[in-house]
Structure 1
């Protein structure tokens, strides 16, 4: 054997050995690129706090950096469009709730994405409820007292909602119809500015999620007076459900979960789902998310997909019955 042919043989053997060794390593050991979690709402809000709580733990389970990428605006629509255009390489996730996935496509003519075609569900980890809260400057302590107060103001009142054409906006409309008062939804660009106006007594009431309200409710700065769902919520046990108050139809509660771009390998989806299951089972994580007003419960991919589908179907009926026309 010549010197050159011997050298080629050694190099070929070395390359083959390196390739074999690389294939034998776990996928996580080969991939140290950051995982990006898109969030469609501003830093400091309820969804952002949830994402950062999970990201901190997911990095340990995945063995990779996990960063939160806030793409706020249009009720999560901007972040959803970013997800659609992201490479399906297992490095981008979208943490969101019902509004962006289930509601926006029902109320927007051209949202710029189709959840059924552009996204794949990864897993769900919690449900939550929307609630009616009153500002500190509103003298009412209950929903009936609030309605009586509105009537004393001439039968008209403004109620803040974190986004136009959202579940909170439809809830405001139906409360007004139920009690024969003129309640107008005042849309904000997210829950943070809405709550800021409530704290400043610029608006007397708001409808949003328990995670958005819970901190100020506990501090006594605002008062949650009614909640959606089949049962009262542990985070605000004194607040009755709308059903208890005679306003039926809001028992189906929203969800939180992770989505990935369509085409993401199933192996990556499974890996993310398994890591999420371990994270939300940790007592400190569950305690923290519960304190934020979430009902924590892991939903694997298919169960989560079914949950999202059922919620979308329920709200399709409500929105159509309201006569709302997509904008």
Structure 2
């Protein structure tokens, strides 16, 4: 009568040991699962390059693979929707600039996400300036020369490329058209990379995008940046005037770059991500590389970055309303 219980007891201990081993293996596999950084634009653009720079360093700080996943389309809207549906476990992040977070929800009736409800800021790491650039096939070498070129040789009309519709670059094109009494039409692309291809091929004479999108080709002499937004000139382009200097005010506040996670991500997970990003941004080689791309590196922890996003969104809400733009 005592043999069976002992056998069952031994079997039970064996099963329990197996379950513990399986649980430990599952936990280890989970801890080694990769982190993916969503990018809302195609490979080859400025945002993609920034994401890959950070991913390479974050993998060492987090101790797991960090992969960049391009979900291009609709100015980052697709990537944002993917983030919304992702598990809030810190394994899916969204590297975005201001357009997807602050602008899209204001210019799209049903974007499929609400940043204030569906996302939580992890941290900010840089600001940047949008710029007007001219293709090498355009004889103009400054904004005033471009205006004269359009007036005298284009019949007062031209198309200016932009990386996404209903974006700050589109509003900037509208402001230029209004100030100089020109018929300037924004030509939207699916990201800066295809726009750049057309500019380099002289298929389009001008484009508005971020300095990181333009800087390498500007340095190579393949296009010319002729004006930048901001209250002062950019350190990487000390000879390029601001729009304000050229008489176009209202474009002084700089856009941001940051990381976002799904709402509901545990505070301890956000803290770990925040600390890892802070260490990466503090690395001299990372700062130097991002600065060479035209970014002003300025790490902002979660609470500070959240306030920055809120203030920026409110600023552009006023500008968009004043423009008379109707969400579609």
Are 1:127 and 2:127 matched, yes or no?
Answer: yes
Structure 2 residue aligned with 1:101: 101
The 5 Å alignment of 1:55-70 reads: 55-70=55-70
User: How far does the alpha carbon of each residue in 1:13-53 deviate from its partner, in whole angstroms, 9 at most, with x for none?
Assistant: 9799989xx7xxxx999711100111111111111110000
Are 1:90 and 2:116 matched, yes or no?
Answer: no
CA contact (8 A) 2:41 2:190 kept: no
Unaligned runs of 5+ in 2: none
Are 1:81 and 2:54 matched, yes or no?
Answer: no
Residue 307 of structure 1: SS of its match in structure 2? helix
Structure 2 residue aligned with 1:250: 251
Are 1:35 and 2:35 matched, yes or no?
Answer: yes
Residue 204 of structure 2: SS of its match in structure 1? coil
**Larger CA deviation: 120-129 vs 176-185:** 176-185
Q: Are residues 28 and 167 of structure 1, via their aligned partners in 2, closer, same or farther at CA, if it must alter by over 3 Å?
A: farther
Are 1:232 and 2:233 matched, yes or no?
Answer: yes
Count of aligned pairs between the two proteins: 322
Q: Are residues 160 and 13 of structure 1, via their aligned partners in 2, closer, same or farther at CA, if it must alter by over 3 Å?
A: closer
Structure 2 residue aligned with 1:220: 221
CA contact (8 A) 2:128 2:210 kept: yes
Are 1:183 and 2:184 matched, yes or no?
Answer: yes
TM-score, structure 1 as length reference: 0.93
Partners of 1:120 and 1:195 in 2: how far apart? Answer: 32
Residue 92 of structure 1 deviates from its aligned partner by 0.6
Residue 188 of structure 1 deviates from its aligned partner by 1.2
Partners of 2:264 and 2:140 in 1: how far apart? Answer: 51
Residue 69 of structure 1 deviates from its aligned partner by 0.7
Partners of 1:256 and 1:33 in 2: how far apart? Answer: 25
Structure 2 residue aligned with 1:315: 316
Structure 1 residue aligned with 2:307: 306
Partners of 1:164 and 1:17 in 2: how far apart? Answer: 54
Structure 2 residue aligned with 1:259: 260
Q: Which runs of 4+ in 1 moved over 3 A?
A: 1-19, 27-30
CA contact (8 A) 2:131 2:225 kept: yes
The 5 Å alignment of 1:138-149 reads: 138-149=138-149
CA contact (8 A) 1:80 1:113 kept: yes
Q: CA RMSD in A?
A: 2.2
Q: Are residues 67 and 242 of structure 1, via their aligned partners in 2, closer, same or farther at CA, if it must alter by over 3 Å?
A: same
TM-score, structure 2 as length reference: 0.93
Partners of 2:174 and 2:143 in 1: how far apart? Answer: 15
Residue 249 of structure 1 deviates from its aligned partner by 0.5
User: How far does the alpha carbon of each residue in 1:98-126 deviate from its partner, in whole angstroms, 9 at most, with x for none?
Assistant: 00011000100000101011111100100
User: How far does the alpha carbon of each residue in 1:146-183 deviate from its partner, in whole angstroms, 9 at most, with x for none?
Assistant: 11111102111111111111000000100111111221
Are 1:150 and 2:164 matched, yes or no?
Answer: no
Residue 289 of structure 1 deviates from its aligned partner by 0.5
